[in-house]
Amino acid sequence: MTQQHGAWRRNGVIFALLVTTLGLAAAESHAGCESKEAVARFARDYLAKQPTEALGAGGSLVDALCTQARLAEVLAEAMGPVIGYKAGLTSAPAQARFGASEPVRGLLYRDMMLMDGATVELPWGAVPMVEADLILEIGDSAVNAATTPLEVMRHVRAVYPFIELPDLALAEGQPMTPETITAMGVGARLGILGAAIEVRDAEAMTSSLAEMQVEIRDGAGEVRDSIPGSAVLGHPAESILWLHEAGVTFKAGDLVSVGSFGALMPPASLKGALRLRYAGLPGDPEVAVLFGPGS
């Protein structure tokens, strides 16, 4: 384990203990947990794709998670129930962009998921972005006892190519910090889900995930980047370890977005489409999205 990974794990353990000790009810009593009125205002703007004011500015990460839980109750009415979790700011470029020293955690919703090859109208949010991602599907709750990527993968049912289409949501000049990103649920808006790759050999898949190259091509077929699997915390399965130590308890069927391979990209720069190829995973799978004009 690198010194950096050791640091986020220590911080994650401390943070998880704080969340466990305080509990959500206690967290809601903190001044930094946004009011239901502020959350409703944010949700209204978010669903209308209007730039909005930050939630969680000046508060702690515990306060931000309290606000995130309140926001999830409102967003679930429009975006469907929560079906999993997302780790954000898991790569060096993403952390550098937002001044973070470790990842942040958010949620995934059922109705945000679209299938491979879908056409998505622009803009899909107030501040739409695109990221190369990957999803791991939890096979059973024994994953909560894992301490290494290999142990994680022994309890992962499937791997999915995934293009996330987040919405940074905030109006110009609003603070974009780990706390405000957490409070708004790490910008979950839409995502393109590729075909499932069943994990039949956990050891082989663990190696493949570390050694793969995520090739990013735009609508003109130009290779925009090629990023190793190790770009996400040293190994994509480390996102599950971090999320658990940050307070998440997984169950069978949960989907986990591991985070961005490389920097977030504005859709306007991608020439009408994005295609990812995961060279080194079984079958070198791909996933693609087309961008269309708004109605």
DSSP 83-99: EEEEEES-SHHHHHHHT
* pLDDT above 60: residue 13: no
Residue 1: what pLDDT? 40
Show the domains of the chain with their CATH numbers. Answer: 3-293 (3.90.850.10)
Query: 């000790």: which residue's tokens?
Result: 21
pLDDT digits (tens, 9 = 90+) for 238-294: 999 999 999 999 999 999 999 999 888 999 999 999 999 999 999 999 999 999 975
Helical axes 3-27 vs 238-245, angle rounded to 10°: 40
Q: For residues 176 and 168, what is the distance between their CA atoms, to the nearest angstrom?
A: 9
Q: For residues 137 and 197, what is the distance between their CA atoms, to the nearest angstrom?
A: 10
Q: What is the mean pLDDT of residues 125-154?
A: 98
Hey, what amino acid is at 216?
A: I
The gap between the terminal CA atoms of the chain, to the nearest Å, is 49
Q: CB–CB of 179/65 below 8 Å?
A: no
Q: CB–CB of 153/237 below 8 Å?
A: yes
φ, ψ for residue 84, nearest 5 deg: 170, -160
Residue 234: what pLDDT? 94
Could you give the angle at the alpha carbon of 144 between the alpha carbons of 235 and 7, nearest 5°?
A: 50
72 DSSP assignment: H
268 DSSP assignment: G
Cβ neighbourhood burial of 12 (10 Å; 0-12, 13-18, 19+): buried
Residue 294: what pLDDT? 56
pLDDT digits (tens, 9 = 90+) for 42-74: 999 999 999 999 999 989 999 999 999 999 999
pLDDT digits (tens, 9 = 90+) for 178-213: 999 999 999 999 999 999 999 999 999 999 999 999
Residue 10: what pLDDT? 40
* pLDDT above 70: residue 21: no
Residue 90: what pLDDT? 87
Q: Residue 23's pLDDT band (boundaries 50, 70, 90)?
A: very low
State the pTM of this model: 0.88
